[in-house]
Structure formats: C-alpha cells, structure tokens
Amino acid sequence: MIPISHSTQPERQSPQPPPTGVTPLTESGARSHVAGVCFKIGPPRLVGVEVEWFVHDDRCPTRPVRPELLRDALASMPLGGPDGTSLPSGSRLTLEPGGQVELSSPPATGLVACVEDTRRDMTALRAAFAAQGLRLTGTGTDPLARPRRMVLDHPRYLAMERFFDSAGPWGRIMMTGTASVQVCVDAGDTDGPHAVRRRWLLTHRLGPVLVAAFANSPLLDGKPTGHRSTRQTVWSRMDPSRTLAPQPDHGDPGEAWAQYVLDAEVLCMRRPEGLPWTAPPGLTFRDWVRGGGERPPTLADLDYHRTTLFPPVRPRGHLELRMIDAQPGDGWVVPAALVTALLDDPAAADAALAALEPLQCADGPRPPRSDAWRRAATLATADPELRRATLACFAAADAALGRLPGAGRLRTAVAEFAERYPARGRCPADDQLDALRSGTRRTLPEEAAP
C-alpha cells in the first residue's frame, strides 16, 4: 500500500537496500524480535479499521478510472489532521495495486470513538471523489467486467506480481480485483479474560463466521462464480506459506508466529533503484538466515518480509483481522462492532467460543483451507451449521453492546444486520445475485448501508 499526501507518495518503509556493515541476524534473534514486536502486551483499549473500495467512474463504470481523475480526487482531499498529512480525524489514505482506495483509521480508544472518527473522514473522502464523478464501491471483488491492471509500478508490487504469477492467476486477482474491511484490535494481556492466547484463538475461530456473515463478492468479471465470497476463495488458493494461518490452538502465539515468519518464502529482496526486487525461488527466510541468498539478511529485511505475509489474522503489535469482504456504504460498522464486542467483553467471548466449537476440526487443513472456511466462502449462512454459529455470535455481541456505554446506535445496526441476513440464511452477496437475476442491477451494486 502506498500512502498518499498532496506532494509525495513515499513508501511506508524505506525502499533503500539494507545498510552495509550491519550485524547479520541469527535464527534465535529473528524469533525473539518477531515475537516481541508483533504482540504488544497490555489491557485491550484501542480499536481501528481499514476500509477498502473500488473506484468507478459514474460516467463509464465499465472502463478503468483514468489516472488523472484519481489524482485529482486525491489531491482535493482536505488533508490536515493532527499531523498535517492525514484526514481531519487522523485517518490515512493509501492506494492498492489495482487502484483501490483504502482508508486506515487511527487507533481510537474504544469502538464508539473509532466509528465516529472514521465516519467523519469517510464523509470527506466520498465528497472529494463524488466531485470528480467517481464512486467508491464497497464489494469484495470488482463486480464489473472491466480490464484489471496494475496502476502502481513500485518495485514491491512488481515483485509481488512476478512471485504470484508463477502459481496461477490468483495473486493478480487479489492485487487488482479484491477489497476488504480489516478490523484491528489490541493483542491482549498476559493472562486473565483478555489474555493474548485467548484473543488469538478467538480471532481465528471467528474466521468462518466473519467470512459467511459478511460475504459480499459473488461476482468476478461480471459473472457469478458460485462463491458468496470469491475474495476469500482467491486468498485460499494463493501461496500457503504466507496465506495459511499459523497453528492457533497450540503453543505460545508469539513463538508460533515467529516460526511462521521464518518458514514463509521470501517474496522480494530490496535493491538500489533500477534493480528488480527479486528473490531466489523457494527461499524461506529461515534459509536466508542460514546462508541462502545473495547477502546475509538484516533486521530491516525481517521487518519488511513480515509486511509481505497475509494470513487471516496478522499480528502487528495489534491483531489485524483480514477475512472480511468490503461492505456497501457504512456496512463496515457492523463487522467492526461485532468483532470488538466479542473480543473485549469476557462474557461475550465465552459465548462465542462455545458457539464456534462445532466448527472446529483439529485434523483438517489450516484456515483458510479448512472445511468450515470453504463452506463459509461458498454457502455463507445458507449453511445450517454456520448460520447457527453466526446467530449465536451476533446474540453474544448484542448483549455486549448493551453493556457498552454510548453504543445504542451500534447495537441497533448489528441487530438489523442479523435480522436481514444470517437470520434468513442470507449475506450481502445474495443482494447482488438477486439484482443480477432480476435484471435490476444495471452496473454497480447498491451502496446503501444495510
């Protein structure tokens, strides 16, 4: 993702090659570093969201948006915020490889503040794009049959393109044709009801319910795919060393994640300007530490390598849940409220874990290739077992939101979503499919919030 400002588009981490003369990493040093920086320990307090959209030109939705229109819309944004480079409430904008726009909220103290701050910044974002005749479309895959292309030529994305193309079309579809809602919550405390291990386990077990309830990507290239969440299906078919989950049920989360990072293939090695960021095929970071590669890796290489890993739950100091399809309008509010309520309210967490237990299969493939995740992506809440678990989780979240001061409107939104979708064995993808079958969908899905 490339951050946006009025004057520059710097990379989040320096594109310069690692400095010479730096002490090379050891395996034990790499494990210790990853476990330490990826799980910040303390009572849960902060909440954030990252919301992505496709950009369509209302005058000709089936054509790619002209780059100058996108630039004009971004340049008109009312940047300022606390540090002068973000939106009024502190959110930041990034561009994805296919031209999707992502708004990342700042960490907020609690769910209510997060929703209020993000809504203010999203209002500014929509207005700026509408002034250029552009529409932000919230759906997990681009529903239109229009050319998918890389609009960014940064070495990182060129390396990703080369890496993923070697294993089929899924990586290119992911980069240019998918969008999501990511909910970010604190990792948790040392022990007690908010212990890291407990929150790590719950975020993974929630995965199939979050995929099923918010499935919103039934179309690709203008045609039904047979999956309610095509986006999730695409992710499940990509490089398993960077898209499968670690083993969430076993051992210490920090150690499990450190081993995962070391065992993942190296996607790219940063080099001076003009040189491609390639990596030897099949080289894992553990291999690199043990002497593979053209030079010894450094701590900066390890930190950059972590940014190229995309499991369903990614620890970045906090926990980033990545399995939710983009939603129409303000529909992102419901998954944010559901996740936060279930994780931060101990009674709700107990109820959710009990409801999710029937979906577990210890001997099967890891998420997102397990049976429950596959059924969630294909059938969503039309699957009876998933529907029961989903409704139980929504009921637990409803009770938790009733105990949260100032959350009355959020509680109502969650209850209305539950009644409209999982209670009827439906998900947002079914709205798109119904409109397609009836002939009422002209070009883009309806953007009214549920």
Q: Where are the beta strands (DSSP E) in 141-195?
A: 180-186
Residues 91-110: tens digit of each pLDDT: 999 888 898 999 999 999 99
- The gap between the terminal CA atoms of the chain, to the nearest Å, is 28
pLDDT tens track for 181-202:
999 999 999 999 999 999 999 9
pLDDT at 8: 27
pTM of the model: 0.93
Whether residue 449 is predicted with pLDDT greater than 60 in this model: the reply is no
Provide the token pair at 419.
């009644």
Both tokens assigned to 51: 């919301």
- Kindly report the average pLDDT of the chain as a whole number: 90
CA distances from 354 to 50, 89, 360 (A): 28, 38, 11
Quick: pLDDT tens for 187-245.
999 999 999 999 999 999 999 999 999 999 999 999 999 999 999 999 999 999 999 99
Q: Print the SS3 string covering 244-299.
A: CCCCCCCCCHHHHHHHHHHHCECCCCCCCCCCCCCCCCCCEHHHHHCCCCCCCCCH
pLDDT at 79: 73
Q: 35-89: per-residue pLDDT in tens?
A: 999 999 999 999 999 999 999 998 899 888 887 788 788 888 877 655 555 788 9
Cα radius of gyration (the chain): 21
Q: What is the pLDDT of residues 318-354, one digit of tens each?
A: 999 999 999 999 999 999 999 999 999 999 999 999 9
pLDDT of residue 251: 76
DSSP 362-402: TTSPPTTSSHHHHHHHHTGGGSHHHHHHHHHHHHHHHHHHH
- Give the pLDDT of residue 85: 57
pLDDT at 171 over 90: yes
3-state class (DSSP) for residue 150: coil
